[in-house]
Each structure stands twice: as structure tokens, then as C-alpha cells.
Homo-oligomer: A and B are copies of this chain.
Amino acid sequence: MTVSVVYPGSFDPVTYGHIDVIQRAASRFSRLIVACLQNAGKDPMFDVEERIALLEEVTGDLRNVEVAAFDGLLVDFCREHDVRLVVKGLRAVSDFEYELQMAQMNRSIGGVETLFLTASPIYSFLSSSLVKEIARFGGDVTDFVPPPVADRMRARRW
């Protein structure tokens, strides 16, 4: 029995926290599809092509990981890829409540089950938006995102 999972997100940009979830899920499941949301809010730092290129670069050594753009409902994406499991990383209680609501909805409308992994403690305070805010003010983000992402964030600022 092959178990495939989808890991959805905006990944604007991908952080070490996301990579940690990807590695842990990839080591436990047969196949992991990283679903990169096309429309990443009002003012994305990177467009979806760049975000996918960065995801592919930083997950290139994981053989059972694929990256794909997605738009619309997550349950439709799952159906198209014939996957019935979604993986999410949980950092905090406030994450949990929103995610729980989404999980119930996705199970209700599409029969898709969500599995929650706890964020590794050292990444529990990390979020893409915090990293972007630090970069915006010239702070150092090399502890939070892998080198290719840090490079492009620096380039973006000038």
C-alpha cells in the first residue's frame, strides 16, 4: 500500500521550517507532493515560478518529492493527483485552530484527511512573513532560509 501525501503552502519564501517538514514527511511516506499556492496573498515577495524554482532547488536531493503549483481548492488538487492525505506543520495553538477548521472542511467536501506534524522546536518561531520583515530592514536571514533563498532575498532588496 503506497501512501502519498500533499504538503500545501505559499512558500513565499521556503524556510528551514518548511524544509524540516518536507524531509520528515518524505522519510515516512512513499511520495510527497509540495503544492505551492499560486496566489500567495496581496504582496508576494516572489512569484509562483520563482517560489517553485527555489522549492525544487532546495528539495532536489529528495527523490520522492515533487513540486507543483496549485490554485483553487486543495481538495481538487488532491483529487487530480489521486492523493487522500495532506500534511501540515503545526507551530502554535493559533495555527492549530485555523488548521483544524480547514482540515474538517477538506474532509467534509473532499474526503481528504489532514495529518499534522509538530514543527521542530528550533523552527517553532519561524514564519515566512517574519523572515521577509527581517530582510526588508536589512537583517540577516541566513539562519532561517537556505542559501539560494537568502541570495535572492538579498538581490530583491536593491
A30-B3, A130-B101 known; A108 and B143 CB under 8 Å?
yes
**Binary interface profile of A, 122-136, with partner B (CB < 8 Å = 1, else 0)?**
111111001001100
The 9 closest A-B pairs by CB, nearest first: A104-B125, A116-B116, A1-B30, A121-B121, A115-B115, A72-B137, A3-B3, A101-B125, A73-B137
Interface centre among A101, A140, A143 (most CB of B within 10 A): A101
* Interface flags, A108-122, vs B, CB<8A=1, else 0: 110001111110011
Count of interface residues, chain A, beta-carbon cutoff 8 Å = 51
A109 touches B73 (CB 8 A): no
Assuming the contacts A28-B85, A73-B137, A137-B72, asked whether A118 and B93 have C-beta atoms less than 8 A apart, the reply is no
Q: Which residue of B lies closest to A91 (CB)?
A: B101
Any B CB within 8 A of the CB of A147: no
Q: Are B28 and A84 in contact (CB under 8 A)?
A: yes
Q: Which residues of B contact A102 (CB under 8 A)?
A: 125, 130
Bound Cα distance from A122 to B124, whole angstroms: 9
Assembly CA distance A136 to B112 (angstroms): 19
Question: A55 → chain B, closest Cβ, in Å?
Answer: 22
- Determine whether the beta carbon of A92 is less than 8 Å from that of B103: no
Q: What residues of chain B lie closer than 8 Å to A93, measured between beta carbons?
A: 92-93, 96-97
Given A1-B3, A96-B93: A109 touches B134 (CB 8 Å cut-off): yes
